[in-house]
Amino acid sequence: MIHCQNCTTKNSLDREFCWKCGSKLLVHSGAQPFDSVIPFMEEHVLERISALEYTINLLNKRVDSMMETIERVAASNFIDHTMIETLTDSLESAGIELENLEAEWRKRIDSRILETEEVDRLGARMQRIMDEYRGSDRKQFGLWIEKSYDLLVAERSPESLHFLKSAFEHDAANYELGQLLAEVYFQAREYASARECLSIVLAAKPGHFEANFLMGLIHQHKGNLNEAQAQYEMAIGLKDDSSAAHATLGSLLAETGNRKDALKHLATALKLKPSAPVHFLMGAVYYGLGRHKRAIEHLRKATRLDPEFGEAFYQLGLLCLEMNQLRKAQECFKTAQALNPRETRYRKRLRSFSEESTGPDQLNGLIRDELRLVKCWGEKRAK
pLDDT for position 348? 63
Looking at per-residue pLDDT, the higher value among 294 and 48 belongs to 294
Query: How far apart, in whole angstroms, are the C-alpha atoms of residue 61 and residue 67?
Result: 10
Q: Does 60 lie in the same domain as 6?
A: yes
Q: In the predicted model, is pLDDT for residue 124 greater than 80? A: yes
Residue 94 forms part of a structural domain = no
Task: Give domain status of residue 59, yes or no.
Answer: yes
Give me the mean pLDDT over the 20-37 stretch.
Answer: 59
Shared-domain flag, residues 253 and 336: yes
Check residue 355 and give its pLDDT.
60
Mean pLDDT of 178-198: 92
Asked if the model's pLDDT at residue 107 lies above 60, the reply is yes
Banded model confidence at residue 10, pLDDT cuts 50, 70, 90: confident
Is the pLDDT at 25 greater than 80? The verdict is no
Question: Residue 378 has what pLDDT?
Answer: 43
Q: Model confidence over 305-339: pLDDT tens digits?
A: 999 999 999 999 999 988 889 899 999 999 998 99
Minimum mean pLDDT range among 99-113, 193-207, 265-279: 99-113
* 269 and 352 part of one domain: yes
In whole angstroms, give the CA distance from residue 225 to residue 221.
9
Q: Is residue 98 part of a domain?
A: no
Regarding whether 173 and 114 lie in a shared domain, the answer is yes
Q: Domain for residue 88, yes or no?
A: no
User: 316 in a domain, yes or no?
Assistant: yes
For the chain, the average pLDDT equals 83
Average pLDDT over residues 153-163: 88
From residue 69, alpha-carbon distances to 60, 64, 81 in Å are 14, 9, 18
Domain of residue 63 covers 2-81
What's the pLDDT at 242? 93
Q: Which residues contact 70 (CB under 8 A, 6 or more apart)?
A: none
Residues 197 and 121 in one domain: yes
Rounded average pLDDT over 346-360: 63
pLDDT of residue 358: 62
Assess if residue 343 is contained within a domain: yes
What pLDDT is stored for residue 208 in this prediction? 94
pLDDT at 28: 44
| Residue 312 and residue 369 share a domain | yes
Is the pLDDT assigned to residue 30 strictly greater than 60?
no
Task: Taking residues 123-152, report their average pLDDT.
Answer: 91
| Amino acid identity at 246 | H
Same domain, 192 and 308: no
The total number of structural domains in the chain stands at: 3
Q: What integer pLDDT is reported at residue 375 of this predicted model?
A: 65
243 lies in the same domain as 198: no
Mean pLDDT to the nearest integer, 158-187: 92
Q: Within this chain, do residues 248 and 343 fall inside the same structural domain, yes or no? A: yes
**Average of pLDDT values for 168-175?**
92
Would you state the pLDDT for residue 47? 63
Q: Per the domain annotation, does 216 fall within a domain?
A: no
Q: pLDDT, tens digit, for every residue of 336-351?
A: 989 988 877 666 666 6
337 and 288 in a common domain:
yes
Q: Provide the pLDDT for residue 156.
A: 86
Note the pLDDT of residue 154.
86
Residue 303: its pLDDT value, please? 95
Tell me: do 122 and 186 sit in the same domain.
yes
Q: What is the mean pLDDT of residues 251-270?
A: 93
Question: 199-242, pLDDT tens digit by residue?
Answer: 999 999 999 999 999 999 999 989 899 999 999 999 999 999 99
> pLDDT: is 356 or 76 the higher one?
76
Same domain for 74 and 153, yes or no, is no
Domain final position from 46, 81, 116: 81
Task: Give the pLDDT confidence of 278-309 residue by residue, as tens digits.
Answer: 999 999 999 989 999 999 999 999 999 999 99
Give the pLDDT confidence score for residue 352 in this predicted structure.
66
230 is a domain residue = no
CATH of the domain at 164: 1.25.40.10
